[in-house]
Amino acid sequence: MPRTVGQIDQAKSQAILDAAAEVLGTGGLSAPMDEIARRAGVSKQTIYNHYGSKAELIRAIVDRRVEEIAAPLLAPGAQDHPQEALAGFGRVMLELVLRPLGRSMLKMTVQAADDMPDLARAFYEAGPKTSRRRLAEFLRAETLAGRLAVDDPDQAADFFAGMVIGVRQIAGLLGVEQAAEPEVIEQVAQEAARRFLRAYGVD
Amino acid sequence: MPRTVGQIDQAKSQAILDAAAEVLGTGGLSAPMDEIARRAGVSKQTIYNHYGSKAELIRAIVDRRVEEIAAPLLAPGAQDHPQEALAGFGRVMLELVLRPLGRSMLKMTVQAADDMPDLARAFYEAGPKTSRRRLAEFLRAETLAGRLAVDDPDQAADFFAGMVIGVRQIAGLLGVEQAAEPEVIEQVAQEAARRFLRAYGVD
DNA sequence: AACCGCCTGGACTGGTGAGTCCAGTTTTCC
DNA sequence: GGAAAACTGGACTCACCAGTCCAGGCGGTT
């Protein structure tokens, strides 16, 4: 049995968050608390002990995942050949968007945007905005190094991100799935990087 | 769809649709029927006389607008210089996405996707899918004419559409607005077209 | 004029779900 | 071992909302 800190059971906190993310992500934000409780193997009261309300539970889900979502975007090494670095960015973005986790996270946030605009904004800042910023920084650095000729790094970052995830994002939101085989991801990321380099190359 | 063609008031039908699109688009799909009735200057019973249920009302909204949404994409003349034709596509797409109508339509459909997957699919086919197809056809034609060198027109169309509307789409869904001045639209469309031509030019 | 059907407004039903309460049980801490 | 705190499960309250019902008003048709 797990160690507990206060008297509150941390393992249950995680189980609740996992169950809630799963249930709310697939069934929509209107999914009932009872189902979350059932899925988490926990009584409804316990959920309210840990998080005070449904809104705060949702907040907790997003807060927990938001940094872990943008984190992989630090990884791609900026010192390789630009083609590989760019493709790396693209691959990570695509995986983020196609993975059930990222998908349901976005869906939840969109659905919550009406009632909790602050949450939507926080998600936007931590997710899309941050990733664009990192990409823009990379483009700026590469331009300074003379390997690219990007005049407006922010716009160029938007362009590249849009190329890679554009369609799939909205297809995912609408529940119009197409499978996400790794080789497709790789092909799209590589091709987007290649075309982008042609569009913004120094030549 | 039961068209009880008695003395039913067509003007009221429109007023209801307009009010419903407004209310459901801004307040979310959970906005109450009473508010729609109030906004339309009509009794709730009348709404149920015209459309049988909330679900069918939503369906009617989407059905009415869906073709009128993709329609402008026919316009851009394919015979001009590719740069202008492409920029035209981009401009139309951007306006579609930024206009409150298109925005609320997308938001509604995303929110409804859980409960009415067929509606989401229909919207996807008529909207994003159709526009990509037309763009892809254009690219194919231009390639045949020797003015472009596009090997995979479908993917290229996705890329271009993503460049133009990518970020704004999700920003809009999250309610993180930035104003849409016409000159910004124009600049983005032109720049995207320019870069795309560099990426896919014949040279 | 008399009829018919759409309209209004407001009251009403039924279902669902958030959040609470409670009595009894388990777990942790000292 | 015993107290305190957390957990369970199930019943319960309360609010909200889709959809129905009804009594009366209004406009067109014959």
Contacts of A116 in chain B (CB under 8 A): none
User: Number of folded domains in chain A?
Assistant: 2
Contacts of A188 in chain B (CB under 8 A): 155
Interval B184-189 mean pLDDT: 96
* Same-domain check for residues A37 and A97: no
Tokens of A39: 């899925």
The pLDDT of residue A122 is above 70 = yes
Tens of pLDDT along B128-157? 999 999 999 999 999 999 999 999 999 999
A114 and B175: CB-CB below 8 Å?
A: yes
Q: Place B19 in a pLDDT band, splitting at 50, 70 and 90.
A: very high
CA–CA distance, B159 with B200 (Å, rounded to integer): 11
CA–CA distance, B14 with B201 (Å, rounded to integer): 47
A60 within a domain of the structure (yes/no): no
Tens of pLDDT along B88-125? 999 999 998 898 888 889 999 999 998 899 999 999 99
Q: Can you say whether the dihedral through the CA atoms of A103, A105, A108, A110 is positive or negative?
A: negative
Nearest protein residue, CA measured to C1' of D16: B32
pLDDT score at A46: 96
Indicate which CATH number applies to the domain containing A83: 1.10.357.10
Nearest nt (C1') to A30 (CA)? C17
Ranges A138-152, B7-21, B169-183, most confident:
A138-152
pLDDT score at B1: 34
B57 within a domain of the structure (yes/no): no
Contact between B72 and B62 under an 8 Å Cβ cutoff? The reply is: no
At B174 the three-state DSSP class reads coil
For residue A184, give the chain B residue with the closest CA.
Answer: B155
Indicate which CATH number applies to the domain containing A22: 1.10.10
Instruction: List bases in chain D with any atom under 7 Å of a protein Cβ.
Output: 5-11, 16-22
pLDDT score at B74: 66
pLDDT score at A60: 95
CA–CA distance, B11 with A156 (Å, rounded to integer): 47
For the CA of B32 and the C1' of D16, the distance in angstroms is 9
B165 and A164: CB-CB below 8 Å?
A: no
pLDDT score at A203: 75
B112 within a domain of the structure (yes/no): yes
* Same-domain check for residues A93 and A180: yes
- φ/ψ (deg, to 5) at A115: -90, -25
B143 within a domain of the structure (yes/no): yes
B5 within a domain of the structure (yes/no): no
SS (H, E, C) chain A: CCCCCCCCCHHHHHHHHHHHHHHHHHHCCCCCHHHHHHHHCCCHHHHHHHCCCHHHHHHHHHHHHHHHHHHHHHCCCCCCCHHHHHHHHHHHHHHHHHCHHHHHHHHHHHHHCCCCHHHHHHHHHHHHHHHHHHHHHHHHHHHHCCCCCCCCHHHHHHHHHHHHHHHHHHHHHCCCCCCCCHHHHHHHHHHHHHHHHHHHCCC
* Same-domain check for residues B109 and B161: yes
* Same-domain check for residues A184 and A126: yes
Q: Is the CB of A30 under 7 A from strand D?
A: no
The pLDDT of residue B68 is above 90 = no
pLDDT score at B80: 65
- φ/ψ (deg, to 5) at A44: -60, -40
Instruction: List bases in chain C with any atom under 7 Å of a protein Cβ.
Output: 5-11, 16-22, 27-29
The pLDDT of residue A66 is above 60 = yes
| Measured CA angle at A111 (ends B124, A53), to 5 deg | 160
What residues make up the domain containing A41? 10-52
The pLDDT of residue B165 is above 70 = yes
For the CA of A82 and the C1' of C25, the distance in angstroms is 62
CA–CA distance, A49 with A121 (Å, rounded to integer): 27
Q: How many CB atoms lie within 10 A of CB A186?
A: 14
B167 and A176: CB-CB below 8 Å?
A: no
Q: Place B5 in a pLDDT band, splitting at 50, 70 and 90.
A: very low
Nearest nt (C1') to A9 (CA)? D6
* Same-domain check for residues B77 and B153: yes
